[in-house]
Amino acid sequence: MLRFVLLLCVVALVNGQSTPVKQCIANSGPLPINAYIEGCTQTPCNLPQLQDAVINITFKAPENINRMRTLATAYFSGILAIPYNLHENAETCNFLTNTNCPVKKDDTIQYALKIYIQPIFPVGIETTLEVEINDFDRNSSVVCVRVPVRIVGPVNSGDGDNNVNIA
């Protein structure tokens, strides 16, 4: 038992931190090995406006894959779905941190996604984000994470911990 606990500690250290993300509901795809939204170990994650939210995802390639794209969708009240344009950040392969595309089946891949938080999302709003990594050639889901987030004011403006809930 002690040995098991020690092993868990070692695994936790190696993997770094985690954000408690859930399996997607609106999109398909299994959970990754690990997901960490920088600065967030408890949901909803506070995402400051005017900067990139950084999501580190570690996953295993289910197939040989040539190209991937990342799709982000914000869900409000479980009804309204707003696709979030990631622009050049949607080109998943450009943001792998331990390998390059094409990737091989069963490779363990580390990926750092940046999502720029536009001021168009008002401070205090809460939404649930689903982020899917999609196999471009097959149009199939590789992994997907679902996480509640809350938009907060820009960090440098002094209202970064604004918690006003307009919902």
Ligand X SMILES: *[C@@H]1O[C@H](CO)[C@@H](O)[C@H](O)[C@H]1NC(C)=O
Closest to ligand X by CB, 97 or 163 = 97
In the complex with ligand X, the residue whose CB is nearer, 132 or 153, is 132
**Closest distance to ligand X from the beta carbon of 122 (Å):** 27
Order the strands of the 126-135 sheet from edge to edge. Answer: 45-48, 140-152, 126-135, 68-76, 80-84
Closest separation between CB of residue 74 and ligand X, Å?
17
Q: How far is the CB of 13 from ligand X (least distance, A)?
A: 12
Beta strand 45-48 with 140-152 is parallel
* List of residues contacting ligand X (CB under 6 A): 16-17, 36, 38, 54, 56, 97, 112, 139
- Using alpha carbons, select from 13, 71, 22, 49 the residue that is nearest to residue 153: 49
Judged by beta carbon, residue 66 or residue 97, the one nearer ligand X is 97
The residue (of 22 and 69) whose beta carbon lies closer to ligand X is: 69
Measured distance CA(75)–CA(73) in Å, rounded: 6
Calculate the CA dihedral of residues 121, 123, 127, 129 and round it to 10 degrees.
Answer: 60
Smallest distance, Å, CB 40 to ligand X? 10
Residues 84/72, Cβ–Cβ less than 8 Å: yes
